[in-house]
Amino acid sequence: MTETATLADYLDVLLETARIPDYPGALNGLQLGNSGSVNKIAAAVDFSSRTVAAAIEQQANLLLVHHGMFWSGTRPLTGRRYELLRSLIENDVAVYSSHLPLDCHRTFGNNVLLSRELGLESSGTFAAYKGFPIGVRGSSNVATADLAERARQFAARQGGVTVITDFEPDAVSTSWAICTGSGASADTLQEAAGLGVNTLIVGEGPHWTAVEANEIGITIIYAGHYATETLGVSALAEHLAQQFHLDWIPIHAPTGL
């Protein structure tokens, strides 16, 4: 058993939480305390009634998530939100969330772990947010069809589906970039084009990005927002459990997106 504050402080330093900028609703760090100690960690992509219920069922008292409690902004704590908060407090479950600090981490980050999962070796960074690079990039001699199939199989294991824009049958992903989650945007497409990237791997993106990708000669592999962000929280929870001699469990709650 370890003090909750000790775990939160350790994660804040490891992930450089105070240094990495993020969206206002992220509120990275310890979002909900408990009575003061942790003996079991549950790791999930999203904070939701499904993941909270699973954490309680598994008798975890720290829920480690990528998308936290306040993702959709400040709302009244009434109805289902009140019941969800009450269940956390009554069952003594703390909540720690890490969004972009986890995405960009060079050991436990979603982007670097996804590159390894797909058999790619990163050699540079990609997709800066307020001056901090979030994604990774590199070069390879992997056929685009093979890379797309690796992504498809990975996403399927996470309960998702993969969409790939057009590419020639003999195309090779000589230069690739990864930005997990909502990774396809005007900024990432422009950056990819400027870097000579011919294969962009993301979680999801607006419809127009698929149209634009064809226009500028980039293949986009949309491997799913949920699927591409499953790796970081599990790796982080496993590390935390080993470091502090705690139990941990992954909670799988795919959204289909």
Q: What is the CA radius of gyration of the chain?
A: 19
Q: Which pLDDT band, with edges at 50, 70 and 90, does 248 fall under? A: very high
pLDDT at 75: 86
Judged by DSSP in three states, 252 sits in: coil
pLDDT at 188: 97
What's the pTM value of the predicted model, to 2 decimals? 0.95
- Tokens at residue 35, please? 């009575």
Average pLDDT over the chain, rounded to an integer: 97
How far apart (Å, rounded) are the C-alpha atoms in residues 240 and 45?
16
Mean pLDDT of 206-230: 97
Q: Which pLDDT band, with edges at 50, 70 and 90, does 61 fall under? A: very high
Judged by DSSP in three states, 1 sits in: coil
Q: Are 183 and 220 in contact, with CB atoms under 8 Å apart? A: no
pLDDT at 126: 98
Query: How many Cβ atoms sit within 10 Å of the Cβ of residue 176?
Result: 26
Mean pLDDT of 184-200: 97
pLDDT at 73: 82
100-114 confidence digits (pLDDT tens): 999 999 999 999 999
How far apart (Å, rounded) are the C-alpha atoms in residues 5 and 100?
21
Of 189, 181, 44, 176, nearest in space to 119 by CA: 176
pLDDT at 42: 98
125-167 confidence digits (pLDDT tens): 999 999 999 999 999 999 999 999 999 999 999 999 999 999 9
Does 24 score more than 90 pLDDT? no
pLDDT at 116: 97
CA 75 to chain centre: 24
The residue that leads in pLDDT, 50 or 71, is 50
How far apart (Å, rounded) are the C-alpha atoms in residues 232 and 112?
9
Is residue 89 within a helix (H) or strand (E), and if so which, with residue range? helix 79-90
Q: Are 127 and 177 in contact, with CB atoms under 8 Å apart? A: yes
pLDDT at 239: 98
